[in-house]
Amino acid sequence: MRLIVSLVALASSTAMAGSIQAPGVIAGPDSGAATPNPASTYYNPAALAAADGFEAIFDVQLAAVRVDVDSWRNGGFDPNTGEAYETATARVMAPVTFIGASYEILEDRLTAGLGLTMPFVGGGDYTSSEDDGAPPYTSHQRYFGVNTKVITGQVIPAIGFTPVKDWGLHLGAGMTYTIDMFSIVKTSNVGQEGLGGTDSDPEPYSTDAVLSGEAMGSHIGWTAGVFFDKVREAQVGVSYTSAGRFSATGEGEVLFPGFLVEGGESKTIDADLEIGINLPAIWRVAFNSQITDKLNLGASLDQYRWYDCCGGPGGDIEVGLQDKDGNEVGSGDDTVLLSVSKTLYGPRRLWDTNNVAAFGGYQATDEIWVGGRVGYNQNAVPDYAVGATNLDFENAGFQLGLKYRMPMGQKDGGMTYGLSYSKFYLMERKVSGNNAWDGGGPDERFSPTAPPFNVSGDGHYRGAVDIFGVRIGWDA
C-alpha cells in the first residue's frame, strides 16, 4: 500500500503552529520592521511614517513543499493491511498573497496604510490513496486531524506618525481584523481501543467515530511600533502584535462505524461545531544600515510568544461538538452504542518561535535592485514531536530577490516589477519508541517539561521548501 500524505504550509508568518514558514516572504526580501513601504502595515506600522507620497504593492508567494516519511510505527507494518509501510510523500503548492497601499496625508508627519493578506494557511491531509472499499483514512497519527484545512484572511488598517520632524522618530499603530475558516475530518475517540494487528487479515487500526465539518469566524487584534531613522547608518524598528484567539462556529457530522451501531451498519448524525485555537503575541525587531547610497545591510529577529498562550493544557486546540438538541453526539440515538464527548482536544505544548535573519541589498543601477537574506527558524513545535504537519521544527535557508523599476514619465513615479526565490532546508528527524519522548525525555532547550500525548508516529521525516515570489508595485 502507498499512503499519500499531503501538507499545506504556512508560507507566511503571522500565526504558526507547526508549519513551514519563511520570514520576510510576505512582501519580498526588502520588507520588515525597518522598511518604509506598504508592507509595514503588517511588519511595523511606525515605518509607514517614513514612506513618501503614494505607494502600492502586490505580492504573491507560492511555496512548493516536499515531505517524505518512512514510518516505523507498529514495527514498520501498516495495521490496516499487515504489509510494510512504503514511503509517504507530500508534494503541495501553497500560495500566500499580500496587497498593500500607503498614502502620505501630511508631508513628513502622517501616513495611512492598508494591508490585505493571508497570514495563516495550513493543515494536513492524511487520507488514503486506496481504491474504493478501503478504510476511510489511513493514518499513523490517530488523534490528529485526518484532513485539516485552515485559511485566514486579514485586513490591517494602520497609521504612522512623526511627532517631531527633526528627531527621526516615528510611531505607528494598527488594527488586525482576521476572518477564520476551518474544515476538518478528525477521529473522535469514543472509548474503544484499536484492533490493529499485523496478521494476514487485520482489523482496521482506528475504531473511532469520524467527525467532518466546516467552521467560520473572526477575531480582532492590534499592532503598534516605533521606527528610528535619524541616522541612515543605524535605522531601527520594533513592533508588537497582540495575542488573539481563532474562534469559529459551523456545522458538521459524525460517522459512527458499524461496530458502534446496532445492526452493524454505519450511521451519520448531524452536529454543531465550534473550534478554538489560541494565537501568540509577536515581537519584531529589525536593524538596517544604509552604508552607502547603493548598499544596505541589516538583521532581524521575530519572536512568536507561543509558550505564553499555548505552553500548557489551556493552549490545546479545542473542538466543541454537540448534536442538534445540545447533547453529546450519539447520546440521543438508541441504536448508537457510544457517544462522542462534547469537547475534543488537539494536544499542543508549544515553545516560542524564533526567526533570525541577516539581509542586504544593492542598487546596481537607477532601475535595478538586487537583495537577499539568510535565515534560521526554530518553530512552534514541542520538542521532537515531529510529523508530516510539523516537520519544520528547525529549518534554515536563503532568499534572493530582484526588482526593476520603470519610470512612467512622472518626476518621481513609476512601476516596479520584482521576482524572488527562497529555499529552506528542514532538519531531518528520526523518532522511535512509541512516542517522541521515550528514551531520554523532552529537550528542555525548546520544550515545556510536560509533553503532550499521542503526538507523533515513529519514523524518519525529511523535507524541503522552495518559495517563488512575484511583486508588482506602483509609486507616485
pLDDT in tens, 211-269: 888 999 999 999 999 999 999 899 999 999 999 888 899 999 988 878 788 888 888 99
**Lowest-pLDDT range of 97-106, 226-235, 442-451:** 442-451
Higher pLDDT, 107 or 77: 107
Q: 164 CB contacts (<8 Å, ≥6 apart)?
A: none
Higher pLDDT, 290 or 434: 290
Q: Please report the DSSP string for 407-474 in residue order.
A: E-SSSS-EEEEEEEEEEEEEPPEEE-SSSTTTTT---TTTS-SS--SS---SEEEEEEEEEEEEEEEE
E strands of 351-393, at which residues? 353-363, 368-378
Overall number of domains in the chain: 1
Q: What average pLDDT does the segment 289-302 reach?
A: 94
Model confidence at 72, pLDDT cuts 50, 70, 90, reads low
30 close to 432: Cβ distance less than 8 angstroms: no
Model confidence at 43, pLDDT cuts 50, 70, 90, reads very high
Encoded amino acid at 325, one letter: D
**Ramachandran area for residue 467 (φ above 0: left; ψ -120 to 50: alpha; else beta):** beta
DSSP conformation class of 18: S
Q: What average pLDDT does the segment 197-201 reach?
A: 37
Q: 277 CB contacts (<8 Å, ≥6 apart)?
A: 17, 245, 246, 247, 317, 318
Q: Percent of the chain, pLDDT > 90?
A: 36
C-alpha cell at 140: 499513523
The tens digit of pLDDT for each residue in 130-175 reads 444 434 444 333 334 456 677 788 999 999 999 988 899 999 999 9
pTM to 2 decimals?
0.79
What distance in Å separates the CA atoms of residue 155 and residue 166, rounded to the nearest whole number? 32
What distance in Å separates the CA atoms of residue 330 and residue 255, rounded to the nearest whole number? 10
The predicted structure's pLDDT at residue 198: 34
Q: Is pLDDT at 471 greater than 80 in this prediction?
A: yes
Q: 228 CB contacts (<8 Å, ≥6 apart)?
A: 168, 169, 170, 234, 235, 236, 237
The four Cα atoms 99, 105, 109, 111 give a dihedral, to 10 degrees, of -10
**Lowest-pLDDT range of 114-128, 158-172, 455-469:** 114-128
Among 143-157, 168-182, 315-329, 436-450, top mean pLDDT goes to 168-182
18 close to 141: Cβ distance less than 8 angstroms: no
C-alpha cell at 149: 484545512
The predicted structure's pLDDT at residue 65: 73
Q: Which residues of 197-218 are buried (b: 16+ CB within 10 A; e: fewer)?
A: eeeeebebbbbbbbbbbebebe
Q: Please report the DSSP string for 30-81 in residue order.
A: T-STT--STTHHHH-GGGGGG--SEEEEEEEEEEEEEEEEEE-GGGGB-TTT
The predicted structure's pLDDT at residue 316: 72
Higher pLDDT, 452 or 303: 303
Collapsing DSSP to helix, strand or coil, 165 comes out as helix
Is residue 283 assigned to a domain? yes
Among 175-179, 317-321, 430-434, 443-447, top mean pLDDT goes to 175-179
**Lowest-pLDDT range of 188-197, 311-320, 391-400:** 188-197
Model confidence at 367, pLDDT cuts 50, 70, 90, reads very high
Q: What average pLDDT does the segment 94-121 reach?
A: 88
Is residue 336 assigned to a domain? yes
Encoded amino acid at 418, one letter: G
Q: Which residues of 407-431 are buried (b: 16+ CB within 10 A; e: fewer)?
A: eeeeeeebebebebebebebeebeb
C-alpha cell at 474: 506602483
Q: Is pLDDT at 347 greater than 80 in this prediction?
A: no
Q: What average pLDDT does the segment 303-329 reach?
A: 83
CATH number of the domain encompassing residue 54: 2.40.160.60
Is residue 20 assigned to a domain? yes
Is residue 1 assigned to a domain? no
Is residue 276 assigned to a domain? yes
**Lowest-pLDDT range of 148-162, 195-209, 352-366:** 195-209
Is residue 340 assigned to a domain? yes
What's the chain's average pLDDT? Answer: 76
Q: Is pLDDT at 118 greater than 60 in this prediction?
A: yes
The predicted structure's pLDDT at residue 205: 37
Distances (CA, A) of 418 to 11, 56, 120, 137, 286: 18, 13, 24, 42, 22
Closest CA to 122 of 148, 86, 87, 156: 148
The tens digit of pLDDT for each residue in 391-438 reads 556 788 899 999 999 988 656 789 999 999 988 887 776 665 544 444
Encoded amino acid at 138, one letter: T
Is residue 411 assigned to a domain? yes
Domain that holds residue 124: 6-475
Is residue 428 assigned to a domain? yes
